[in-house]
């Protein structure tokens, strides 16, 4: 396949580009900066003022990963940027690609989303058939996926990727969490009773390629390991992997005071999400257990 990738310079985009190339696919990486990625892939430059206007070229698939980071204090300005970079950009991108010559349009579109789609649902087990929840992230993901769904207008197979917490040495949440534990300030967040759905980077990109190559995958899929953990258990396993204590505790009220709604929806919310479709269709996880995933990162 000839695969176009937006957000190709990010943690997941770069890892996916490497895997797709190693698997025999051709990668077209889109970036607002021209040049080469660290893996040697040449990028196609998009207009800095119009990131949705990808230079037209023949694509068999499009993997759309671009978006403003969710990390940081969720001021109204920050939330507006998050929304615009996901919902508005994806809407404009699908409209733009529809103007391409029919032979150039991708027949499959994978678009980033998140398990925030489900909102906070306590101990309820969640799979792809579960309804969306409430809150900023749930509404964001619902509208983001709807925007990506516009690709169906030219006959594309559309697969939103509802990603959990990605564990990787190169970036994302793991370096931040492990640094806190190495400094002796790691511990539970809030009550520790919230579920954390996680996935190793190798399985994140492995599932993405699997969904791209498997024409039977035609709906959103949960990109998370089959063994979500309570925050308290996740904390203890992370501390053990780093041979560090986990005595500290960040009270929920303090997190809300410092980080506002971001803490409520990202750090204290509970999503017991499982990869229903991937498990049913036989995807074999490289790291189904948290202990093994953490050991690979140590």
Q: What domains lie within the chain, and their CATH numbers?
A: 2-166+198-224+273-292 (3.40.50.720)
List, for residues 23-74, the tens digit of each pLDDT value.
999 999 998 766 666 666 777 778 777 888 999 999 999 999 999 999 889 9
* Phi/psi at 45 (5° precision): -80, 135
- Express each pLDDT in 157-210 by its tens digit: 999 999 999 999 999 999 989 988 888 778 899 999 999 999 999 999 999 999
- In the structure encoding, which two tokens stand for residue 248, read together? 């500290």
- What is the arithmetic mean of pLDDT over 102-126? 97
pLDDT at 255: 85
Angle of helix 231-242 relative to helix 173-182, nearest 10 degrees? 70
pLDDT value of position 217: 97
pLDDT mean across residues, the chain? 93
The predicted structure's pLDDT at residue 38: 66
Residue 269 CA, chain-centre distance (Å), reads 17
The mean pLDDT value for 113-124 works out to 97
- What's the gap between Cα 20 and its chain centre? 17
Q: What is the pLDDT of residue 49?
A: 77
pLDDT of residue 182: 85
pTM: 0.94
Q: How many of the other CB atoms lie within 10 Å of CB of 57?
A: 12
pLDDT in tens, 213-261: 999 999 999 999 999 999 999 999 999 999 888 877 888 888 888 888 8
């Amino acid at each position: 396949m000839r695969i176009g990738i937006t957000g190709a310079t990010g943690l997941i985009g770069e890892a996916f580009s490497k895997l797709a190339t190693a698997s025999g696919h051709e990668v077209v990486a889109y970036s607002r900066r021209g040049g080469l990625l660290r893996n040697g892939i040449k990028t196609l430059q998009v207009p800095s003022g119009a990131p949705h206007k990808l230079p037209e070229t023949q694509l068999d698939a499009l993997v759309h990963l671009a978006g403003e980071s969710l990390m940081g204090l969720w001021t109204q300005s920050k939330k507006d940027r998050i929304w615009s970079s996901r919902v508005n950009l994806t809407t404009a991108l699908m409209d733009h690609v529809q103007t391409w010559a029919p032979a150039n349009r991708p027949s499959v579109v994978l678009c980033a989303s998140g398990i925030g789609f489900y909102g906070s649902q306590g101990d309820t087990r969640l799979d792809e058939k579960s309804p969306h929840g409430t809150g900023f992230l749930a509404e964001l993901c619902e509208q983001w996926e709807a925007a990506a769904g516009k690709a169906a207008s030219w006959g594309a197979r559309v697969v939103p990727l509802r990603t959990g917490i990605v564990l990787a040495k190169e970036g994302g949440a793991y370096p931040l969490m492990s640094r806190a534990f190495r400094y002796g300030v790691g511990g539970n967040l809030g009550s520790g009773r919230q579920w954390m759905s996680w996935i190793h980077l190798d399985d994140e990109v492995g599932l993405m390629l699997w969904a791209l190559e498997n024409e039977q995958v035609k709906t959103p899929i949960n990109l998370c390991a089959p063994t979500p953990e309570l925050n308290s258990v996740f904390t203890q396993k992370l501390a053990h992997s780093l041979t560090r204590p986990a005595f500290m505790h960040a009270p929920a009220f303090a997190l809300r005071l410092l980080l506002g709604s971001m803490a409520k929806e990202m750090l204290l919310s509970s999503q017991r999400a499982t990869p229903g479709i991937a498990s049913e269709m036989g995807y074999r996880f490289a790291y189904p257990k948290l202990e093994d995933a953490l050991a690979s990162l140590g």
